[in-house]
């Protein structure tokens, strides 16, 4: 693997800092740093997309990668990699997200896709367990757990029809 949990997080943190600095440097910002909450999530999604696409290239796997794919209504999938729909959260779950994800999962599976969850970490064990329950332990990935980045990449490859060990 080209990346690990630590290198993904470092790349994310470095680029998040750069994003804040670059946005603050815009003439209209007059040096003020943005206070938007969405920037963290967007930078993390872009980091995951970048790192995953690099890993897939090394493994000679090339599924189509799409961002913000409509599911229904205003609900969107963060990243669709071939037949893998990925929910990406920089800061883990909040409140009753697991119920929402269970609903999304049924809609995603109706389309023939599989639903994955990836986060930098989840320190509140009840939320972690609820997320694992909603997605299945084999489809929930926490980058605060050693080996989960590699497991994530291998599962994306496996669910796109090619063994990652070929």
Architecture of domain 5-158: 3-Layer(aba) Sandwich (3.40)
Beta strands in the chain (DSSP E): 65-72, 75-81, 84-89, 114-119, 140-142
Tokens standing for residue 136:
């299945």
Tell me the mean pLDDT in the region 24-47. 94
Residue pLDDT, tens place only, 127-149: 999 999 999 999 999 999 999 99
Is residue 166 very low, low, confident or very high in pLDDT (cuts 50, 70, 90)? very low
Share of the chain above pLDDT 70, in %: 97
Q: What is the pLDDT of residue 94?
A: 78
Residue pLDDT, tens place only, 60-106: 999 999 999 999 999 999 999 999 999 999 988 877 788 999 999 99
Q: Provide the mean pLDDT of the chain.
A: 94
**SS3 of 123, please?**
coil
- pLDDT at position 53 over 90: yes
Q: What is the pLDDT of residue 162?
A: 61
40, 75 Cβ separation under 8 angstroms: no
Q: What is the DSSP secondary structure assignment for residue 137, as one 8-state letter? A: G
pTM: 0.93
Q: What is the pLDDT of residue 101?
A: 94
Residue pLDDT, tens place only, 153-162: 999 999 997 6
């Amino acid at each position: 693997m080209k990346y690990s949990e630590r290198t993904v997080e470092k790349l994310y943190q470095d680029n998040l800092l750069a994003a804040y600095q670059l946005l603050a440097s815009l003439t209209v910002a007059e040096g003020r740093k943005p206070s938007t909450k969405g920037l963290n999530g967007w930078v993390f999604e872009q980091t995951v997309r970048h790192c995953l696409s690099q890993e897939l290239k090394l493994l000679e796997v090339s599924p189509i990668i799409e961002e913000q794919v409509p599911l229904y209504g205003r609900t969107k999938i963060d990243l669709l990699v071939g037949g893998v729909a990925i929910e990406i959260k920089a800061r883990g779950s909040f409140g009753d997200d697991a119920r929402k994800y269970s609903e999304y999962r049924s809609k995603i599976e109706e389309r023939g896709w599989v639903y994955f969850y990836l986060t930098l970490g989840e320190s509140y064990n009840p939320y972690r367990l609820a997320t694992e329950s909603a997605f299945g332990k084999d489809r929930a990935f926490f980058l605060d757990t050693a080996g989960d980045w590699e497991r994530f990449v291998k599962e994306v490859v496996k669910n796109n029809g090619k063994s990652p060990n070929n």
